[in-house]
Amino acid sequence: MADALVLSIDGMGGDNAPDIVVEGVEIAARKSPDVSFIIHGDAERINHLLELAPHARAVSRVAPAERAIGMDVKPSQAVRQGRGSSLWNAVASVEEGEARAVVSAGNTGAFMAISMFRLRMMEGVHRPALTCTLPSMRGKVALLDVGANVEADAEQLVEFAIMGEAFHRALHGTARPKVGLLNVGSEDMKGHEEIRAAARLMRAARIDLDFHGFIEGDDIGKGVVDVVVTDGFTGNIALKTLEGTARLVGQFLRDALTADPLARLGALFAYPALRKLRARMDPSTSNGAVFLGLNGVVVKSHGGATGSGYAAAIDVARRIAASSYREEIARNIDRLARADAAAAAAGVGEAN
């Protein structure tokens, strides 16, 4: 590889930074030795941790940053006062072309605000979208937006569809990910106007993707589509409801398997299988939410991720940075813009 892939890491973001961060880089470096890292943060502590992380040490450069952004810092404060922090510098590495992607487990709002401020939106994209990966009966499902914006109009929903489709292909190698719009029914007349207009616009603009139409909430787990598109309000509530339900069922299962001696004995025999189940449900195996639509790959790890969870987020950054997702998005965004222009020229609404 002529041009090695460089990832920028916020060494100080997350509940157990920088320890977990370096542990994550070590695991990632062992798996993908062709990637190198710039780790931003407390150089003394990070260098000390790298002494025990030989794979990471071999491919990392430590970039000193004198401070970290706390979890209670508001997005607007972070943009005004964040300069010089590990998070700010990690994003700046992408802006300056030193790195192709940035990973942080720190303050989500601050990370999104600084990324938007420094990296700016991709041409033709109106709003970025936070995208997460979920398990389903048929494979991994991308859900977006899960909270970057509270509302989305029809055109923004189509942009999310375009970005989510390229994201799924970049991450999982799916040739033609199937895209669905989250709604309260699958019939054409269901839902509110924005969502119906988005479906019409998607077809009218001849966006080059496999558009399935509307799906319902239970279709996420069924894996009816690969990419689920919705506004940030609905997406955030769907995501958190899903996480809460998985935790509730897990708790009920623990209650059941510790209720009496026979159940405890059964759980003992089934222990290896139950551990695998736990890994399958573990959010860290799907760690790495991506902030799509900016000039650069921005990946958010769970704040409480383990080392292997953090490595999963790094892997997301690596796959997307190494893909041609930007060109794919640009092509479809261009189709959308031309459809808008044609509709405007014809003097009709964009959605008709």
List of residues contacting a copy of itself (CB under 8 A): 135-137, 147, 150-151, 182, 184, 191-192, 216-222, 230, 232-234, 236-253, 255-257, 259-260, 262-263, 265-274, 276-277, 280-281
Q: Which is nearer to a copy of itself, 41 or 191 (CB)?
A: 191
Query: d(Cα 21, Cα 27) in Å, to the nearest integer?
Result: 10
State in angstroms the smallest separation of the CB of 265 from a copy of itself.
5
Write out the two tokens for 103: 């990973």
Q: Which is nearer to a copy of itself, 256 or 342 (CB)?
A: 256
State in angstroms the smallest separation of the CB of 230 from a copy of itself.
8
- CA 154 to chain centroid: 22
Q: Which is nearer to a copy of itself, 124 or 217 (CB)?
A: 217
- CA 148 to chain centroid: 11
Which residue in 208, 209, 213 sits closest to 224, CA to CA? 213
Q: Which is nearer to a copy of itself, 210 or 282 (CB)?
A: 282
State in angstroms the smallest separation of the CB of 126 from a copy of itself.
18
State in angstroms the smallest separation of the CB of 234 from a copy of itself.
6
- CA distances in angstroms from 48 to 52, 279, 306, listed in the order given: 8, 31, 19
Query: d(Cα 232, Cα 234) in Å, to the nearest integer?
Result: 6
State in angstroms the smallest separation of the CB of 244 from a copy of itself.
3
State in angstroms the smallest separation of the CB of 144 from a copy of itself.
14
Write out the two tokens for 180: 């669905």
Which residues are 66's β-sheet partners?
A: none
Q: Which is nearer to a copy of itself, 36 or 186 (CB)?
A: 186
Taking the CA atoms of residue 166, residue 306, residue 284 and residue 113 in that order, the dihedral angle to the nearest 10 degrees is: -50
Write out the two tokens for 318: 């690596």
Query: d(Cα 153, Cα 200) in Å, to the nearest integer?
Result: 13
